[in-house]
Amino acid sequence: MKLDRWTRQAALTFAALASLLAGCASYVTTQVTAFSNWDGGSDATRTYAFQRTASQQNSLEDSTYEQVVANELATHAFRQVDLQQAHYVVSIAYGTRSAMALTSVPAYYYDPWPGPYYWGRPYGWGGWGPWGPYGGGYVAQSYPVYTHTLGVRITDRASDKEVYNVTARSSGDEPSLVYAMPYLARSAMADFPLGNGVVRTVKLPVDSQGGAPNEVAAGSAAPAAPASGAKTVQ
């Protein structure tokens, strides 16, 4: 039947669109800003402990995100110890803000006289079903944009002087900070230490699970976004 032919055509069209969208979303893009007075030091001195505010002391969310950051610190020879033994104190700050954005999309009209077959209308339009494109017209459409931010601050415990402060920020249609956090942490610590006042863009590939991090057990090391294929745009 020709109706079946239309169904197959629609399925192929939607599959092509899905592939296109997947390709567009294959990287997570993050803006990174760093301020640094890092003196280098040796691997032996890179001991640290996390510092929390009073309101953060019993927060499972904080401990989960700390483990994600700890994974990235470990790739740069940082070793987590008790506060009394730590050379550095590390604190994190994070948050999500949402806003509405506008875009222009083609206007569509409804044809009340669809034909019985896939090619449809008595006017000769084909392949659109009861909806058709309105030539030359556009309408404004709003959609939510979520901006996720992670800040990592490293302080010398003995002098209480800040030695490194980096912020990673990404925007998109994903509302979950949990989903974004591994990419923020990986981007924030990429090529540590950056120079003072450096601003750059980091692109990380979405993993085979679509980018969503695995479940993190409280108090255990959290999985981070894959490092392979990372791209940096200065």
Domain range enclosing 221: 28-102+142-233
What would the two tokens of residue 121 be? 């209308």
Instruction: Give me the mean pLDDT over the 135-155 stretch.
Output: 85
CA nearest to 198, candidates 33, 19, 16: 33
Query: Is residue 10 assigned to a domain?
Result: no
When divided into structural domains, the chain yields a total of 1
DSSP H or E stretch at residue 117: none
Provide the whole-model pTM: 0.67
Residue 109 lies in a domain: no
Whether residue 6 lies inside any domain: the answer is no
Q: Identify whether 17 is part of a domain.
A: no
Tell me how far apart the alpha carbons of residues 211 and 95 are, in angstroms, rounded to a whole number. 19
CATH number at residue 225: 3.30.160
| Beta strand 47-50 pairing with 198-205 | unpaired
pLDDT level of residue 189 (50, 70, 90 thresholds)? very high
Q: What is the pLDDT of residues 19-45, one digit of tens each?
A: 433 444 588 999 999 999 998 777 788
User: Does the pLDDT at position 173 exceed 90?
Assistant: no
71 domain residue, yes or no? yes
152 occurs within a structural domain = yes
